[in-house]
Amino acid sequence: MKPPPLLLGAALLFWGWQSGLFLVGALLAVLLEGARVFKVRWDFSDEDFNRIWTCCALLLFGALLYAFSTHDGITGVNFLLGDRTPGNTQAASTAGARTITSVIRWLPMIFYPFLLLQTYSTRETVPVTTISLILQKRWKRKKRPGPVADDSRGFNVGYPYFCTTLLAASFHPASNNTYFWGFCVLLTWVLWTHRSPRFGWAVWLGLLLVVAGGGYFGQHGLSQLRQYAPNLNAHWLARFMRRHENPNQSRTALGTLGNIKNSGTIVIRVTPTDPNRVPPYLREASYRVYRRQTWLAGSSRDDFQQLYEDAPLDHPGNWTLVPGKEPGATLKIACYLEGYEQESPVGLLPLPPGSARLEKLSAFNLMRNSAGTVRAYGPRLVVFDAHYGPGRTMDSPPGTGTAENADTQRLLTENARWRRPDTGDAAAPRNWGARRWTAEFDPAFADQPQPVLPPGVRTNEDLEVPRVEQPALDAIIAELQLKDRRLSAVLPAVAQFFDTKFKYQTWQAPGRGASDTNTPLARFLLTTRAGHCEYFATATALLLRRLGIPTRYAIGYALHEKSGAGYVVRLSDAHAWTLVWDDTEKVWRDFDTTPAAWIDAERRARSPLQWLSDLWSRLGFEFSKIRYGQSSFQQYLIWLVVPALVLLLYQIIFRRGRRRAGPAVAAAPPHWPGADSEFYRLERRLAGWGLPRRTAEPLQWWLRRAVRHPELVTLQPSLEAVLRLHYRHRFDPQGLTASERAQLRREAERCLQRLSGLPGAAGD
């Protein structure tokens, strides 16, 4: 299909205006439309078209490299070659986006030689084999046996170039509506030349105005939505997408009614170097203070310290977490940073217990607090090696950041009042003075709320137990007779207690009755004795604290599901457990009292179509590795560009001399299925009767109009039968059988004979 006159020239002027290259667009338009003045044409061969198309491909590669190098390309190439210095990933992403924008804006210039070759050629189309490698190979195969007529079809590149020009013009710096209205004018021009004559121009123009108005207000609404979207709370939206942990607090599901379910989506992939040494957990954070079903970081909230990459920086990505510690095993971990802060993805790293060093971690910034939480800023996907082993950990000893005082802790967790030594007067919590205050036990204050500490007095957060939870905990301690027992005896007793007398259950029913002491945790310990991991971890931590054993509440993932040579971690593997301080070894140890049946319970809850979700997750993971520079694909790709350019130059320069000698192939008109149908003779015969077919009129409508002629009424059944066979011969992929092809020929000849006998008949 050929574009109307001057359309492409107008499109080039419009592109130049929108792109800030008006002089270039005007020059290209003059050279193109000058073909209507200068009638000189050249007879270009198919090989010439192939060479020009290859030249355009070469220009496209060159434009990509030029644009990439112009838009901070040095940093981008360093990133592709493996340089992981901070900021390189973001710089490469920005350079890539600007490169694509620039190349799309240059597309009319890049493919202009191909359009110009068609315009000044003796034929109005270019062979399809020029841009289709498959058809090109088939055509070469047909030529090998001998002189065979070229039956390849051609097409006009005018409209594809027109669409490309409009696309390039859309990447413009202007913020007004000139592009939209210019686009509407050019599109109206095209549609008008191909409009159906069945509708009047007023109806056609009215419908076009309705569509244009809808498009204008639609794109205006999308623009408003785009301005509104940044104001949405990204963290609120993330809650509906996946688990995103907060290093400062963990809101547990204690007391939540209903069924607690997690998704089977894969969020972490782990590959151990030693299959026989796989840690049971990957910890993300730990918390120290329990308040109203929420675990808080306490004093660890504000003690995040920045980590620095190890020297030398020639091979960045190595971070030491515990200086001087010799790691014993390695895990390769791939995870996503789901948060967003300071214009960069951010998240907590899931690390094995005893992590000492991270390698190949492409993070912009890394921070760590005294509770062993590591927060990373970097690309959305990070893949790194975690070296870990027994011994010292990142976690600080109990009481860090607090004034550890046994008397203060005892009085706070039981009943206390505060006395100023110089006067002996008791004071309300809000009237603390500047002088020193001390704690003093007083049974008279047994029914009073837990006191607020005066200024400068802080308790050991790793031993704090809310007063409201103490009665239930004391009942369990008395039941198990845990008073005054050593840690080595307490832990097995507590583990056996939860394993034999409790069950794992995600469903939580509403509690009966309401009082200050009837908390979700108390109901779990004394009544229901069924819950999920957050119940077990919280109960264990507070129970041990009540015995004077420092504990912390840890969250992360259980590592248990094998996948190939490694492991996968799902959202349903999110887990909570307890960290217990071993005062003999001076280390924190993992202590999990959740019944082991919780893993099977979560596995049974998965959908039968989980494999399909896993396959999709794998594809997304591999794509993310390429996108965020966590694979070697970019390095191989950059080295493939040079051989590709050499091959293209070779085709343009040397291919002309490698033509095979042989007999000339006679040119033949284009061939398409059904071109030999006898129905076309009937069409020409009826046109001679003064019944020509209108432009773009379907054959069925034209034939229905033609048989209304008084002389042709009797031929209607025969003509319709011929038309049905013609349609099948023309469009049916199976074609006609030999008998049906003979029937088409026979019926068409019969109609032609009857037409020749009618008055006013003309030859075909």
Tokens encoding 600: 């099977």
Is 30's pLDDT higher than 60?
A: yes
Residue type present at position 654: F
- Angle of CA points 735, 736, 737, to nearest 5°: 130
Report, in angstroms and rounded to the nearest whole number, the Rg of the chain calculated over CA atoms: 40
Q: Return the DSSP state at 56.
A: H
* β-sheet bridge partners, residue 345: 340
pLDDT single digits (tens) 555-566:
999 998 888 889
CA atoms within 13 A on the CB side of 619: 5
Report the C-alpha gap between 714 and 468 in whole angstroms.
Answer: 101
Tell me, what's the pLDDT at 11? 92
Tell me, what's the pLDDT at 449? 42
Helix (H, G, I), strand (E, B) or coil at 192: helix
Bigger pLDDT: 64 or 234? 64
Tokens encoding 84: 């992981």
Region 661-671: mean pLDDT is 47
Could you tell me if 740 and 725 are in contact, meaning their C-beta atoms sit under 8 angstroms apart? yes
Exposure string for 525-559, b = 16+ CB within 10 A, e = fewer: beebebbbbbbbbbbbbbbbbbbebbbbbbbbbbb
- Which own/partner contact pairs does 9-14 have at CB distance under 8 Å and 24+ positions apart? 9/33, 10/186, 10/189, 11/162, 11/165, 11/166, 11/169, 11/186, 12/108, 12/165, 14/165, 14/166, 14/169, 14/182, 14/186
Is 146's pLDDT higher than 60?
A: no
Is 110's pLDDT higher than 50?
A: yes
> Exposed (0-12), middle (13-18) or buried (19+): which is 18, by Cβ within 10 Å?
buried
pTM of structure:
0.53
3-state helix, strand, coil in the chain (%, to 5): 45, 15, 40
DSSP assignment of 635-651 = HHHHHHHHHHHHHHHHH
Percent of the chain with pLDDT over 70: 69
Helix (H, G, I), strand (E, B) or coil at 376: strand
87 Rama sector, left if φ>0, alpha if ψ -120 to 50, beta otherwise: left
Tell me, what's the pLDDT at 763? 52
- Confidence at 551, pLDDT banded by 50, 70, 90: very high
629 Rama sector, left if φ>0, alpha if ψ -120 to 50, beta otherwise: left
Could you tell me if 591 and 577 are in contact, meaning their C-beta atoms sit under 8 angstroms apart? yes
Q: How far is CA 168 from the centre of its chain?
A: 26
- Angle of CA points 61, 65, 69, to nearest 5°: 170
Q: Distance between the two ends of the chain, CA-based, in angstroms? A: 27
Alpha carbon dihedral 505, 508, 513, 516, in 10-degree steps, equals 80
Tell me, what's the pLDDT at 497? 93
Report the C-alpha gap between 412 and 418 in whole angstroms.
Answer: 10
Bigger pLDDT: 459 or 502? 502
Listed range (35-39, 384-388, 486-490) with the worst mean pLDDT: 35-39
- Confidence at 638, pLDDT banded by 50, 70, 90: low
Name 492's Cβ contacts closer than 8 Å, sequence gap at least 6.
none
Listed range (230-244, 298-312, 570-584) with the worst mean pLDDT: 230-244
Residue type present at position 406: A
State how far the alpha carbon of 418 is from the alpha carbons of 153, 389, 410, 447, 523, in Å: 98, 46, 13, 15, 33
467-560+573-598 CATH pick, 3.30.70.1560, 3.40.50.720, 3.10.620.30, 3.60.10.10: 3.10.620.30
Is 371's pLDDT higher than 60?
A: yes
Highest mean pLDDT among 87-91, 420-424, 756-760: 756-760
Work out whether the CA dihedral 286, 290, 296, 298 comes out positive or negative: negative
Highest mean pLDDT among 66-75, 491-500, 653-662: 491-500
Is 660's pLDDT higher than 70?
A: no
- Confidence at 501, pLDDT banded by 50, 70, 90: very high
- Confidence at 762, pLDDT banded by 50, 70, 90: low
Report the C-alpha gap between 414 and 399 in whole angstroms.
Answer: 19
Tell me, what's the pLDDT at 544? 94
Bigger pLDDT: 433 or 185? 185
Cis omega (within 30 of 0) for bond into 312? yes
Tokens encoding 561: 């599901």
Bigger pLDDT: 70 or 426? 70
Q: How far is CA 337 from the centre of its chain?
A: 13
Tell me, what's the pLDDT at 310? 84
Helix (H, G, I), strand (E, B) or coil at 463: coil
Work out whether the CA dihedral 169, 174, 179, 182 comes out positive or negative: negative
- Say which residue the tokens 């003045």 belong to: 37
Tell me, what's the pLDDT at 433? 39
Tell me, what's the pLDDT at 439? 40
Bigger pLDDT: 460 or 268? 268
pLDDT single digits (tens) 149-170:
444 567 788 889 999 998 888 8
Q: How would you classify the pairing of strands 294-296 and 587-591?
A: unpaired
Name which of 304, 289, 300, 302 is nearest 461 in CA terms: 289
Tokens encoding 558: 């259980």
Tell me, what's the pLDDT at 143? 53
- Confidence at 338, pLDDT banded by 50, 70, 90: confident
Helix (H, G, I), strand (E, B) or coil at 31: helix
Phi, psi of 442 (to 5 degrees): -145, 110
Bigger pLDDT: 79 or 542? 542
DSSP assignment of 105-157 = HHHHHHSHHHHHHHHTBSSSSEEGGGT-HHHHHHHHHHHSSS-------EE--
Tell me, what's the pLDDT at 407? 47
Tell me, what's the pLDDT at 576? 92
pLDDT single digits (tens) 468-489:
999 999 999 999 998 888 888 9
> Exposed (0-12), middle (13-18) or buried (19+): which is 350, by Cβ within 10 Å?
buried
DSSP assignment of 160-186 = HHHHHHHHHHHS-S--SSHHHHHHHHH
Report the C-alpha gap between 37 and 747 in whole angstroms.
Answer: 49
Name which of 306, 339, 300, 303 is nearest 321 in CA terms: 306
- Confidence at 508, pLDDT banded by 50, 70, 90: low
Tokens encoding 595: 């019944």
Tokens encoding 370: 């005294």
Phi, psi of 159 (to 5 degrees): -70, -40
Highest mean pLDDT among 24-38, 302-316, 447-461, 635-649: 24-38
Tell me, what's the pLDDT at 170? 85
Is 279's pLDDT higher than 70?
A: yes
Is 425's pLDDT higher than 50?
A: no
- State the average pLDDT for the chain: 75
- H/E run at residue 291: strand 289-291
Tokens encoding 73: 């390309």
Could you tell me if 254 and 535 are in contact, meaning their C-beta atoms sit under 8 angstroms apart? yes
- Confidence at 175, pLDDT banded by 50, 70, 90: low
Q: How many CB atoms lie within 10 A of CB 435?
A: 10
* β-sheet bridge partners, residue 581: 588
Tell me, what's the pLDDT at 59? 83
Residues making up the chain, counted from first to last: 764
Could you tell me if 301 and 371 are in contact, meaning their C-beta atoms sit under 8 angstroms apart? no
Tell me, what's the pLDDT at 79? 45
- Say which residue the tokens 């030693």 belong to: 274
Could you tell me if 751 and 764 are in contact, meaning their C-beta atoms sit under 8 angstroms apart? no
